[in-house]
Structure 1
Amino acid sequence: MSGLVDLFSRLEYRFDDPPAIDIPSRLAAVMSDSAHPGGAGLPDESQGARILAATSIVTGFALFTVLARMYVRVFIIRNVGLDDYTMLLTMVLSLAGWAIIIPEVIYGAGRHSAYVQDTAVKAMHLNFATQAIYMWAIGLVKVSIGLFLLRFAPRKGYKIFIWIVIVLMLLYTAICFLTLIFQCKDIRTIWDQSVKSQCFSPTQLLVLSYTNTALNILTDLIFATLPAFMLRHLQVNRRVKASLVCILGLGIL
């Protein structure tokens, strides 16, 4: 599900020209440039409908999956755990992000920046909110997967390792969130270029972004491959074991 959530945060805006670099935030790059009204000859096309369609389909599928999981846990096996509650919280955040994308599209998401100058600040402000929400949603869905794997950890060593990964995920998610919030001395600079303040340099933000991406990929790989090691001594036939490894390894998605 982390891949689904990650898709939300990428389907924000469509660019037809290079982003501005005076504000160290991809939010500014989304909506700000030096183009004059008329889009420098570019057509006034909107990808808003596609953004809403894509996010609605993915969010709807995720909601169906989570509700089906909760039904099984509550009414069939009667074993609701911390991983289930964490997944529910992740789903709530995803729904909140999806709800914010709707007015975001109304204010110009999906259109060339030159055509939305009057509503750019509102659109960028909403985009900033969705980034913060989805940042925690991505982190928490990984935490939920880790908590789920704890149910099958056969040895104490595996449990300690999983808890270490969970704590590290929470720490770097918190660091990324704080970086997003405090990247400028005046937070309004992030969505309003008329507000001037000192911000992190583009290089600093790029390093943090690459670090965050690398850590996300690493945790995905860990949780995708860990079941193969945990279940290698399980006393079942190979077909059942392979099925369990594949199911538990779906966390990489």
Structure 2
Amino acid sequence: MTWVENARPEIEAESQWPMIVAVCVVLTVAMASTVGLRLYVRIRMIKSVGIDDYVMLASMVCAIIYNGLCIGQTKYGLGLPLADRPPANLNKYSEINFAGRPFYMAGILGFKVALCFAYFRITNRNSRVAYKRVIWACMIFSILTHIGGILVLFFQCSPIRKSVRPRIAGKCLDNAITFYVLAAISIICDLIIFLLPIPLLLKVQINTRRKVALIAIFLLGLFTTLCSIMRMVQISVIYKTGNSTMLVLWGTIEMNVGIFLTSLPSLTPLFTYFSNKAKTSSYGMSSYGKGRSASNTENSAVSQQTSGNYVYGGPTTVERSDSQEHIISNTEKGMTITKTTEIQVQRLHDSIGATNHKSWS
């Protein structure tokens, strides 16, 4: 049984369908997992869901549909040069290709709009009116140009039916010009939106290491610009061989990696939580080694105070916390462990260590 419909075995052997399917599956899993973790952090950990999260969820759905349609196209010729594609598959291939276009444009638009709404979260704390206007302008520009791109792709041929039935009479806009223009617009939007927050992040009051990490993540987002450029390069390849494999793959990579990278900064509380848990566990083991022969009451106190189930609320109180918000560093709310609390923890540790030392004596 062959994968490519109506293809001879020798043609099937030349198809690049295994690579396309593998790339689509891996990217889908990575992208969807990241968005899922983003929603978990927003809903369960910091309990603050914004419009950018809903936009990102919609973008993820578009990406999953587009990835599925890309895999579907391999059944009808994607992965083969145009001359080697079974003629009987032309209409079916064209239908799936046409159906995927709006999902691709909506997917890449989604993570850009989500980023703009995320920038508003930062500016709301700093009341930068001029900066907000710039963000609005960039977001509106991206929305209008990408919607325009969807309309161009939809009405590229006259009659529209010619887009899915290439052999019928009619006229179509030149594919090269259309794709070059759309790629150029995507590149411009990428450059503007991914570089937009850097001046603001340089001034925001957060830990320097975290600030550098966030800036690095946004700069990594420019990888989607590279994907757009590589996709543009493939337009000339299609004219020579008719093989659109790499054009589709670079588009898939651009959309999925864009969504993945856009969601990464939202996972900071999750990374901080596990980092703090690791430090707490290490601290607990150290205390256990020093006071192994201490009384059960003392050991119980140390266990409670270092297990991560309690947080220190003041000089003489220990406050129970059932929420993960209390034990993570939440960038959204500006929560940090104060120096005073650190000193109190250290003093308690020293006191327990001294008591244990006396018990050995």
Give the secondary structure class of the aligned counterpart of 1:152: helix
Shift of 1:208: 4.2
* Letter of the 2:155 counterpart: F
Higher relative contact order (CA 8 A, sep 6+): 1
Is 1:172 the counterpart of 2:145 in the alignment? yes
Is 1:92 the counterpart of 2:61 in the alignment? yes
* Letter of the 1:195 counterpart: I
Q: Answer whether contact 1:223 1:249 (CA < 8 A) is retained.
A: no
1:116-195 correspondence to structure 2 within 5 Å? 116-153=86-123, 154=126, 155-195=128-168
Partner deviation per Cα, 1:60-100 (whole Å, 9 max, x = no partner): 11001100101001000011100000000011111111222
Q: Answer whether contact 1:149 1:248 (CA < 8 A) is retained.
A: no
Q: Answer whether contact 2:52 2:115 (CA < 8 A) is retained.
A: yes
Shift of 1:215: 2.5
Aligned positions, number: 212
Task: Give the RMSD, CA atoms, in angstroms.
Answer: 2.3
Distance in structure 1 (CA, Å) of the matches to 2:16 and 2:195: 37
Q: Answer whether contact 2:24 2:71 (CA < 8 A) is retained.
A: no
Q: Answer whether contact 1:97 1:130 (CA < 8 A) is retained.
A: yes
Q: Answer whether contact 1:225 1:249 (CA < 8 A) is retained.
A: yes
Q: Percent identity?
A: 32
Is 1:214 the counterpart of 2:184 in the alignment? yes
Shift of 1:127: 1.1
Shift of 1:239: 3.1
Shift of 1:159: 1.2
The counterpart of 1:199, out of the listed 169, 172, 175, is 172
- What are structure 1's unaligned runs of at least 5 residues? 1-36
Distance in structure 2 (CA, Å) of the matches to 1:156 and 1:144: 19
* Letter of the 1:156 counterpart: V
Residue of structure 1 equivalent to 2:299 = none
Is 1:80 the counterpart of 2:49 in the alignment? yes
Residue of structure 2 equivalent to 1:68 = 37
Residue of structure 1 equivalent to 2:292 = none
Per the alignment, do residues 100 and 244 of structure 1 end up closer, same or farther by CA in structure 2, a change over 3 Å counting? closer
* Letter of the 1:196 counterpart: A
Q: Which has the larger radius of gyration?
A: 2
Q: Answer whether contact 1:48 1:110 (CA < 8 A) is retained.
A: yes
The counterpart of 1:241, out of the listed 195, 207, 211, is 211
1:36-51 correspondence to structure 2 within 5 Å? 45-51=14-20
Is 1:252 the counterpart of 2:225 in the alignment? no
Q: Answer whether contact 2:73 2:96 (CA < 8 A) is retained.
A: yes
Distance in structure 1 (CA, Å) of the matches to 2:75 and 2:163: 20
TM-score relative to the length of structure 2: 0.54
Is 1:110 the counterpart of 2:79 in the alignment? yes
Distance in structure 2 (CA, Å) of the matches to 1:115 and 1:181: 24
* Letter of the 1:189 counterpart: K
- What are structure 2's unaligned runs of at least 5 residues? 1-6, 224-361
